[in-house]
Structure 1
Amino acid sequence: MRECVGCKQCFPSTHTLCRECFIELVPNEGVPQVVNERYTLTKVRHKSVAATLYEAHDAHTKQTVALKILRASSLADPRAVERLLVEAKLAARFRHPLIAELLDFGTLHDASAFLVSELARGVSLRDELKRLGKIPAPQAIQILGVLAEALDAAHVAGLIHRDLKPESIILSPDWMTAADSNDETKKTLSLKIVGFSLARVAMGKEFVPGTTHVMQSRGQLPLRPTYMSPEQFRGIETDLRTDIFSLGVIAYEMLAGQPPINAKKFGEFGARMLAKPPVPLHVINASVNSLLESTVLRAMQKLPDGRQQRAREFRQELAASVKG
């Protein structure tokens, strides 16, 4: 297969020039354009160390889907593929209107794996944070409440995201209009959480000084640890409360316009996360009341027992902060 670095479209290996951009195509011989004799890769959406996300055409349903190919290096742990298949089967049985549906999954001949899911259309929370800086508190509370509702449903079903971040949250293009509307019939905020319950295949390894770059190059540690919980950083087995921590970090960033910890080096980030408390939100954003601040900071407690024990509890505290 070949890819265009301009428009990101995918072409058969026999093509050499993009017919739209008129630039030379880049070969990607390790990836077949047709996956599992069903999904034709049409466009690159995102690349990371561990995986590449494509748009693809499903020959059976005639729909456009999201197809993620996990690199073999991220599945180097012998238990990784087994974990992937077990969790993918669980995720494929789960249905929720706010979570992108997992449609298909499997392994490829080179020991990589593929995951096919519903294509969530809209704008990512990451893009909106770049555009707006801070999210106004009323809109942030509404988004966070909807996120907590979806997370709680998934947690009840036994699913944990483990890699929740602004890129994982896709908002409908009219989300701000809906959030601002005085018409209750138009106030329903539409969003989708993507990448659910599949991060564990590349996680679970304890951070060891001096091995960061190796583990990151294999996709076994994220390049951006901003949303990792302390237990993830330590390599401890996680439960649903790791998602609560990530949700708290996202909430902090939405309200402050910056994450609670900024550090360029992985080890430096870990030292700050485990030792230094974040700057109080009201110091950065005077519109944040004490109840909202305490809700967010509680979610980011270092020890899981100190956080809200359910996403539903986080949502209830958000609602109380509005009334307060």
Structure 2
Amino acid sequence: MVIGRMLGGRYEVLEKVGGGGMSLVYRARDLYLNRMVAIKVLREHLTNDEEFVARFRREAQAVASLSHTNIVSIYDVGQDKDLHYLVMEMVEGQNLKEVIKEKDKFNENEAVEITKQICEALEHAHKQKIIHCDIKPHNIILTKEGKAKVTDFGIARAVTTATITHTGSIMGSVHYFSPEQAKGEIADEKSDIYSMGVVLYEMLTGKLPFEGESPISIALKKINNDSIPPRSVNPDIGEALEKVILRAMDRNPFRRYESVRELKQDITSAHLYNKLEYEPSEMENTINIPPLALRKTKKNDLAAPLKVWTWIMISLIIVGFIVGMFISATVLSRGEVTVPDIVEMSATEAEAVLKNLELSLIVERNINHPTIEEGLVVFQDPKPSVIVKKKSDIKVVVSKGPNMVIVPNVLASSLLSAEVALNNEGLELGDVTRVYHEQITSGKIVRQEPAAGKEIIQGSTVNLIISKGPEPIWISMPVVTNLSIQQAESILQNYNLLLGVVQPETSYEYAEDIVIRQDPGANSEILQGSVVNLVISAGPGPLGSLSSVSITLPNSGKVKIVVDDENSREIVYENYHYDGETIQRNVSYHRRGFIEVYVDNRLIKRKEVG
């Protein structure tokens, strides 16, 4: 039972909110940061695969470095006994598959806006060399504000062959897998582009491009057949947008878009202007034409004319080549220059260098760069040494300097949680030092350098100091024999010792619950925090002796008779009597001690016994 558990000593699991073939999702409260989070717990059949679990943890830590408004953030990854879990941003909303079922299909405006957001998330991930591998409506959450958020990067990347044999989890994904994934080949950026095309197809038509009774039959269809054009299902789709979808879903990955960025730009252009920015290249559309069958002729019919025309054509080609070379060397070269290397020059300096060559500087954008100073050129197009015509534009990207980030507060966190928090901000874990600390629990962060809140360069390292708990102190083991178990436990607590096994033992010498033996023994050297085991009496204890007590009361009042012997001190008689009354009682005691008589809590007689 996961609900009600405290995972990692930090996350209080409140309720189940969803689940799939690979995991269950719970709403939880982060007690350290007082915020709601989503916790994704791997299903049991996955946790039994040690290779998968190791890969899952690695992928989750890699994905934690992604920081984008359209990607569900990963805060932590951990294990609590038999549970392996991810701690993620809590996103309120529905997954896209649920919305498609409710709406049947989206209008073009809605579908394009959602697709562009998903493309932006994938573009960010692809720049970090992270492929999702399982883009489908189930892994896209739509918030009430209409924002699309992509989830499940870590789990999708970590899936093993053993995992996908579970038909329930693969059936939902095979509709969106690329043909190369269906053939068991390695997925790359173009596999995500294919899946994105299927998602857009489904949003606009309410249908899937391929259907079948089993995952295998669906996979074979998409490997061997083209999909039904989406306009044949929904004629309201624009012609250009249909071309975008079909190109994204091309069976041949080399004929798909080169990047998610190209896909996003073509979707925008097709939607707004019904035209494409990135038309397929001629090579992509080349059709192989079989050689024509030539009519057989007699051997010498055409030999003479062909020889003449062959020499004429060769002569013309040579002359043309020489003339062309002459024109290039004398006429055209007068208007061409070689592009200089202006990378790491200031924009002003680069502009002056280009101006001398009759070239123009165009600053396309400014970006953060970890090593190149602000104001210097990071990238140029065309590249150095390329020959261009004079008056050409040289496009450059200029550095804004390193990207500065705020160091997160990781104090009192575990090392794993701290590393995830640092990765989320693009920071690296530096040196880890362990020290004793009187107040902070072992394994928690005591200090961080630089301190939380400081602004530093993204990619910098943060050093952490971790508590080893209080420094152990050698003490002399206290004596707890001949004491009650309650007294012994109190003394152990005072000495910062832990009560271990308490073993009852029949004894006719010690009264019940009295400590007979202790381990370690009394006065031995022991570290604070050590465990102490005790053997206590289970009774019946020693037989008591009797002593007669007789007293005539000097005044009326409440009479108490108290036995204070080697076993204990206890009241054995208590009652009200009158002035002059004589009291006689036989009182039991163990070994040696005193019998005391009180009237209204005033001692009037004390008798030694034993």
Q: Which amino acid aligns with 1:135?
A: F
Assess, with a 3 A threshold, how the Cα gap between structure 1 residues 308 and 76 changes in structure 2: closer, same or farther.
Answer: farther
**1:285 corresponding residue in structure 2:** 234
Q: Quote the residue 1:191 is aligned against.
A: 148
- The answer as to 2:187 corresponding to 1:216 is no
Deviation at 1:224, TM superposition (A): 4.4
Residue aligning to 1:250: 199
Unaligned runs of 5+ in 1: 3-9, 13-32, 176-189
Q: 1:194 to 1:232 in 2, by over 3 A?
A: same
Kindly tell me: are residues 218 and 300 of structure 1, through their superposed partners in 2, closer, same or farther at Cα, counting changes over 3 Å?
Answer: closer
> Is residue 72–residue 113 contact of structure 1 (8 Å, CA) maintained in 2?
no
How many residues are aligned here? 273
Alignment match, 2:12: 40
Unmatched runs of 5 consecutive residues or more in structure 2: 275-610
Residue 136 of structure 1 aligns with an amino acid whose one-letter code is: N
Structure 1 CA distance, aligned partners of 2:84 and 2:157? 14
Conserved 8 A contact 2:180-2:187: yes
The residue correspondences of 1:142-291 to structure 2 (distance < 5 A) are 142-175=113-146, 190-203=147-160, 205=161, 215-216=165-166, 221-291=170-240
Q: Using the alignment, how far apart are the partners of 1:264 and 1:54 within structure 2?
A: 32
CA distance in 2, matches of 1:260, 1:217: 20
Q: Which letter maps to 1:119?
A: M
Q: Sequence identity, in percent?
A: 29
Deviations for 1:16-48, whole angstroms, at most 9, x for unmatched residues? xxxxxxxxxxxxxxxxx2222211211112222
Separation in 2, partners of 1:250, 1:257: 10
Q: Deviations along 1:103-146, whole A, 9 cap, x unmatched? A: 00023433x52111101112322222111111001221111112
Secondary structure of the 1:171 match is strand
| From 81, 84, 91, the counterpart of 2:53 | 81
CA contact (8 A) 1:74 1:218 kept: no
Structure index of larger Rg: 2
94-103 vs 232-241, which moves further: 232-241
Q: Which whole-Å CA distance do the structure 1 matches of 2:259 and 2:220 have between them?
A: 27
Given the alignment, which residue of 120, 127, 130 partners 2:98? 127
**Is the CA contact (8 Å cut-off) linking 1:261 and 1:272 kept in structure 2?**
yes
2:34 is matched with 62
The 1-side partners of 2:151 and 2:21 are apart by 18
Deviation per residue, 1:42-96 (Å, 9 max, x gap): 1112222321111111111111111111124225554323322222121112211
CA distance in 2, matches of 1:267, 1:317: 32
Distance between the aligned counterparts of 1:77 and 1:232, measured in 2? 22
More helix by share: 1
Question: Is the 8 Å Cα contact of residues 216 and 223 (structure 1) preserved in structure 2?
Answer: no
The answer to whether residue 288 in structure 2 is matched with residue 317 in structure 1 is: no
Whole-Å Cα distance in 1 between the matches of residues 141 and 154 of structure 2? 16
Please state whether the residue corresponding to 1:282 is helix, strand or coil: helix
User: Matched residues in 1 for 2:143 and 2:57: separation?
Assistant: 30
Greater RCO structure (CA 8 Å; 6+ sep): 1
Shift in alpha-carbon separation, 1:246–1:217, aligned structure 2, 3 A: closer
Cα deviation, 1:189-219, whole Å, max 9, x if unaligned, reads x22112124312224x399xxxx7xx11696
Q: Paired residue for 1:305? A: 254
Kept after mapping to 2: 8 A contact 1:38/1:58: yes
Classify the secondary structure of the residue corresponding to 2:15: strand
Match of 1:138 in 2: 109
Q: 1:152 to 1:45 in 2, by over 3 A?
A: same
Partner of residue 115, structure 1: 86
Which TM-score applies when normalising by structure 1? 0.78
TM-score of the two chains, using structure 2 as the length reference: 0.43
The offset of 1:257, in angstroms, is: 0.8
> Equivalent residue for 2:562?
none
Structure 1 CA distance for aligned equivalents of residues 166 and 231 of structure 2: 35
Write the letter of the residue equivalent to 2:214: K
In structure 2, give the amino acid aligned to 1:51.
Answer: S
Q: Where does residue 16 of structure 1 map in the other structure?
A: none
Which residue identity lines up with residue 126 of structure 2 in the other structure?
H
1:24 is matched with none
Q: Aligned Cα RMSD in Å?
A: 2.2
Cα deviation for residue 270 of structure 1 reads 1.4
Question: Would you say the 8 A contact 2:22–2:46 is kept in 1?
Answer: yes
Match of 2:71 in 1: 99
**CA–CA separation in structure 1 for the residues paired with 2:95 and 2:22:** 20
Instruction: Tell whether the 8 Å contact from 1:40 to 1:57 is kept in structure 2 after alignment.
Output: yes
8 Å Cα contact 1:105/1:116 also seen in 2: yes
The structure carrying a bigger strand percent of its residues is 2
SS of the residue aligned with 1:90? helix
Amino acid at match of 2:70: L
